[in-house]
Amino acid sequence: MIGLDVGRLFAVARKEAREYRRTPFIIGAMAVLPLIFMINPVITIFAIGATVKAATVSKAVGATFLVLLVVPAIIPASIAAYSVVGERDQGTLEPLLTTPVRRGEILIGKALVAAVPAVGIAYILFAVAVILAHFFAGNPTVAATLTEGSHILAQVLFAPLLAVWSIGVGTAISARSSDVRVAQQLGTLASLPPLAATALVSFQIVPLGVWTAVGFGLGLLVIDIAMWRGVVATFDRERLITGSRAQRARGVGADSHEVRRIQA
């Protein structure tokens, strides 16, 4: 991943953005899914009466919080799962790989365009939930709970980390898959496990505080880094084109002409 060229990375990202813009299914999914995920928070906000105890409010807000965190995990999953196998399917992968672009530039360029809208939408949904709670909730504790420092910190930290996980695992599946539909189904499924960690916080099995949020954030970060190292290893030019990985020659000697796997 060292020596990334910003120009090439930007070229990949711009291409991805242009393709998404012209794909109604992707735009439609990005628009509709968040609206669906807003239904629960809105009902929660309006359903909590003025006399409901603070502990109950806190539990309800925790559940809302988890629903909001599903968005950055789910939205980019199918996009990432399409990213490599889709290119192979339409015959664009080989011409792309014949250029000087490095695998890190392809992966990050694609990931950025999937991550930015997902994280942006997650933040917007959280902001909308806070605004609705502030102005329309029957119980003032709802807005106060949502805007606690630890909640905001958790939202800010977890949303991008969940998106990065989802995109990474989706891309890895995409690079190994030969069928777009299978890749998208597996990608969506594989995006969910980290939500189990956030569920511990949301359902107050682990009490949410600033340091808990930071701790969980660091944990997700470590998992993301390890997973992306695997993704980079999976993204092998030869495997992507031929379906098998390069084999090294045996018997190295003066005339053996050993050539190692070409990788950049």
Partner 1 sequence: MVSHLTKRFGDRSAFEDVSFEVAHGEVFGFLGPNGAGKTTTVRTLGTLIAPTSGSAVVAGIPLSAATGAEIRQLISIMPENPGLYLRLTVQENLELFAGLYGLHSPRARIDAALETVNLAPRARDLCGRLSKGLRQRVGLARALLSDPLVMFLDEPTSGLDPVASRDVHDLIAGLRQRGVTVFLTTHRLEEAERLCDRVAILNTRLLDVGPPEQLRMQLFRSSLVVETAARLPAPEAVFTPEMGVDTWTREGDATYVLSVAEPRMAAPRVTRALVAAGADVVSIAVSHHSLEDVYLELVEADPEAGR
Angle between helices 6-21 and 24-47 (to 10 degrees): 80
Q: What x/- string results for residues 228 through 247 when contact with partner 1 is judged by CB under 8 A?
A: ---------xx--xx-x-xx
Specify the residue, 33 or 101, whose C-beta has the smaller distance to partner 1. Answer: 101
| Contact assessment for residue 118 and residue 77, using Cβ atoms and an 8 Å cutoff | no
Q: Which two tokens stand for residue 224?
A: 């993301």
Strands (E) in the chain, as ranges, are none
Specify the residue, 37 or 235, whose C-beta has the smaller distance to partner 1. Answer: 235
Q: Which two tokens stand for residue 179?
A: 């069928």
Q: What x/- string results for residues 99 through 138 when contact with partner 1 is judged by CB under 8 A?
A: xxxx------------------------------------
Q: Which residue in 30, 52, 97, 197 binds partner 1 (CB under 8 A)?
A: 97
* Residue whose entry in the numeric block shows the structure tokens 């925790």: 62
Q: How many residues belong to the site for partner 1 (CB under 8 A)?
A: 42
Specify the residue, 11 or 232, whose C-beta has the smaller distance to partner 1. Answer: 11
Site for partner 1 in 11-30 (CB under 8 A): 11-12, 14-15, 18-19, 22-23
Burial (CB count <10 Å: 0-12, 13-18, 19+), residue 152: middle
**Residue 254 vs residues 40, 147, 257, 258, 260: alpha-carbon distances, Å:** 70, 69, 7, 9, 15
| Phi/psi at 159 (5° precision) | -55, -55
Specify the residue, 86 or 209, whose C-beta has the smaller distance to partner 1. Answer: 86
Residues of the shown chain interacting with partner 1 in the complex, contacts defined by CB under 8 A: 5, 7-8, 10-12, 14-15, 18-19, 22-23, 90-102, 237-238, 241-242, 244, 246-247, 249, 256-264
